[in-house]
Amino acid sequence: MFLSVHGDPGQASQVLSRALAKAVDPGMRGKVAAALAERLSGLAPNGWHPVLDADLTVLLGEAAVDPQKLARVVARTLLLKTPDFDGSVEALEAIGRDPLWRGFLSRCLNLDAAMEARLNAVRAALVATDGTEGEGRAALLEALAVNGFAAEYLDAGPEGLTGRLAWLFRTPGLDEEVSGELARRAVEQPKREGELAAGLECLTPSDDAVSVAVRDQYEASPYPRWVAPPAPEARSLISCVKALPGLDREAFAGRPERVLVAGCGTGFEPIDLARTDPTLSITAMDLSRASLAYGARVAGELGLDRVRFVQGDILALDQIEDRFDVVTSTGVIHHMARPDEGLARLAGVLRPGGVVRLGLYSERGRKRVKLAHALIRERGWRATPEDIRAFRAHVLSLPDGAPLAALRESDDFYSLSGCRDLVFHVQEHCYTPPQLDDLLAVAGLRLIGFDAPPEAQSAFRSAFGRADPLDMDLWDRLETQNPTLFAGMYHLWAQRPA
Ligand SMILES: C[S@@+](CC[C@H](N)C(=O)[O-])C[C@H]1O[C@@H](n2cnc3c(N)ncnc32)[C@H](O)[C@@H]1O
């Protein structure tokens, strides 16, 4: 672990790899696995290596590891291992018998354009060879079907295909004979979520026209569609809050107890918070019942009983009596007609001295997305599966270096609901750093923290030395020089005065 932070990264991975092979105690094994996964997740291998292949295979099955974080390195490893694919029965059998291929397909959402092309070729070959026989092909069919379900069928598939092969291009029905992981993910879980959605508590009504349009989008396309529950963060909420450079400590005395996750989507954040600190009492609110039900189902499976999933509209929060120590709202209020009104409502449910964490779009970071909006308008594409596929096909056909080709780097590009959220949204606002200051001031909040990614922080230090890290004019200058600094979103903290 020490080497991992301070020493030679390659050597650290080797040490961790050997330690993982020997680790028996579950606690220690989890720590080693998480540290190794962290190291490998950023790797861009340029050759196939059996030790890396074996490590990735093991890590994909470890409970302490979020397999999605390994999606890119696993895809690269598999393409390097199998550089050519001739579509033969033998090639399909070999892929289906390979545990890394199966682990990748059933546990990760693909995030790699070259791998997407390969998956399309593999699906086409399975159909052409009627690949339902043979142990390898049967396993491959099921793993690919799980993968297709997770990505919401990016590939429309041939007309009239029936039977098990049709699973590759559409969710199996309740009346079909489905088993294993596919049955769990594509049949049982959605059924359970349907039951949970119907029984969810309604915290506030919602009659705002934009809220209704946004709700309809997320009822149809819950977002994000994460697969494995988050591995608990090493840092608890209290330690994050106490480390904020501008925090008025006197005003925020004690531990945070009551937390509101406003616009929680499919529940990743409240579940992450609850797993990291089980003493928190968390209200997870969203407009979309389908999204909430996804989170409620996973929370139930994990035995997290202190997360209360409720349907509600941020704009109607002035109707509730509850007050919270911490409110978080990531990627939400910029989807409102008036984000300032949304923020005023969030500030209104903070207790005096309470803090809010926001994720908001960066104007410069969304430049490519704006280009996509213009193209979508020009082509008349709508947020239907067919049009989202048409948009994706266009972006995938662009040469590297074309402005819109950069969208292929976004995780959201690789599922229908993600792509819808990325470029087909019914409503969005974007900001520059000084505008963030203004937005907070109008709501009577004070900026106390700015969670810039590590590379942005080091760029800030190189440019401005020990200047105030909350100076939004300096961040503005830095972002002007490097428009991709915030990968589309700012994360900031603000405090309500006592
Ligand atoms: C892009 S998703 C982000 C979900 C989650 N916060 C995350 O970071 O993964 C935006 C979510 O905000 C919700 N939302 C948008 N406007 C809202 C409002 N007025 N009240 C409550 N939720 C809202 C949407 O339903 C959607 O689930």
For residue 299, give the CATH number of its domain: 3.40.50.150
Give yes or no for a contact between 143 and 165, defined as CB atoms under 8 angstroms apart. no
Same domain, 334 and 385: no
Question: Per the structure, how many domains does the chain have?
Answer: 3
For residue 424, report the distance from its CA to the centre of ligand 1, in Å.
15
Same domain, 137 and 221: no
Q: Is residue 178, in this structure, part of any structural domain at all?
A: no
pLDDT at 135: 93
- Report phi then psi at 324, rounded to 5: -125, 150
pLDDT band (50, 70, 90) for residue 74: very high
Indicate the average pLDDT of the chain: 92
Q: Side-chain half-sphere of 219: how many Cα atoms within 13 Å?
A: 13
| 104 Cβ contact list (under 8 Å, min separation 6) | 60, 71, 74, 75, 78, 110
Same domain, 12 and 98: yes
Residue owning the nearest CA to atom 27 of ligand 1: 265
Same domain, 405 and 478: no
Same domain, 377 and 453: no
Domain-ending residue, one of 166, 188, 219: 166
CB of 230 shorter than 6 A to ligand 1:
no
Q: Is residue 153, in this structure, part of any structural domain at all?
A: yes
H or E stretch at 270? helix 268-276
Residue to probe by mutation, ligand 1, list 204, 287, 289, 317, most atoms within 8 Å of CB: 287
Which regions of 331-461 does DSSP assign to beta strands (E)? 350-361, 446-450
Give yes or no for a contact between 355 and 490, defined as CB atoms under 8 angstroms apart. no
Q: Is residue 19, in this structure, part of any structural domain at all?
A: yes
Mean pLDDT calculated for residue range 470-497 = 94
Q: Is residue 121, in this structure, part of any structural domain at all?
A: yes
pLDDT at 5: 54
CB of 286 shorter than 6 A to ligand 1:
yes
The DSSP-derived string for 29-49 is HHHHHHHHHHHHHT---SS--
pLDDT at 205: 84
CB of 330 shorter than 6 A to ligand 1:
yes
Percentage above 70 pLDDT, the chain: 98
CB of 488 shorter than 6 A to ligand 1:
no
Residues 322-374 have pLDDT tens digits of 999 999 999 999 999 999 999 999 999 999 999 999 999 999 999 899 999 99
pLDDT at 6: 56
pLDDT at 283: 98
Q: Token digits for 225? A: 């569609």
Helix (H, G, I), strand (E, B) or coil at 415: coil
H or E stretch at 259? strand 258-262
Same domain, 281 and 380: no
CB of 264 shorter than 6 A to ligand 1:
yes
The residue ranking higher by pLDDT, 485 or 233, is 485
CB of 328 shorter than 6 A to ligand 1:
no
DSSP summary character for residue 341: H
DSSP summary character for residue 171: P
pLDDT at 1: 54
Rounded to whole angstroms, the Cα distance separating 465 from 473 reads 15
pLDDT at 345: 97
pLDDT at 2: 53
Nearest to 112 by CA among 325, 434, 472, 396: 396
Give yes or no for a contact between 262 and 285, defined as CB atoms under 8 angstroms apart. yes
Q: Is residue 183, in this structure, part of any structural domain at all?
A: no
Mean pLDDT calculated for residue range 424-441 = 92
Residues facing 283 on adjacent strands: 260, 308
Percentage above 90 pLDDT, the chain: 77
For residue 265, report the distance from its CA to the centre of ligand 1, in Å.
5
Mean pLDDT calculated for residue range 404-416 = 95
For residue 346, report the distance from its CA to the centre of ligand 1, in Å.
13
pLDDT at 300: 95
Q: Is residue 180, in this structure, part of any structural domain at all?
A: no
Residue owning the nearest CA to atom 12 of ligand 1: 263
Same domain, 207 and 157: no
Same domain, 210 and 332: yes
Q: Is residue 184, in this structure, part of any structural domain at all?
A: no
Full domain range(s) for residue 257:
202-363+429-495
For residue 150, report the distance from its CA to the centre of ligand 1, in Å.
20
pLDDT band (50, 70, 90) for residue 20: confident
Q: How many CB atoms lie within 10 A of CB 347?
A: 20
Give yes or no for a contact between 70 and 41, defined as CB atoms under 8 angstroms apart. yes
Q: Is residue 352, in this structure, part of any structural domain at all?
A: yes
Residue owning the nearest CA to atom 10 of ligand 1: 332
For residue 349, report the distance from its CA to the centre of ligand 1, in Å.
17
Residue to probe by mutation, ligand 1, list 282, 286, 360, most atoms within 8 Å of CB: 286
CB of 335 shorter than 6 A to ligand 1:
yes
Give yes or no for a contact between 246 and 448, defined as CB atoms under 8 angstroms apart. yes
Say which amino acid occupies 20.
Answer: L
Same domain, 27 and 159: yes
Residue owning the nearest CA to atom 23 of ligand 1: 263
CB of 421 shorter than 6 A to ligand 1:
yes
Same domain, 115 and 137: yes
Which residue bears the tokens 């142990």? 135
Residue owning the nearest CA to atom 1 of ligand 1: 331
Which residue bears the tokens 């797993």? 275
Same domain, 310 and 457: yes
**307-311 and 324-330 strand pairing:** unpaired
CA-to-CA separations, 139 to 56, 106, 132, 180, 300, in angstroms, rounded: 19, 10, 9, 10, 29
For residue 292, report the distance from its CA to the centre of ligand 1, in Å.
10
Same domain, 377 and 356: no
CB of 222 shorter than 6 A to ligand 1:
no
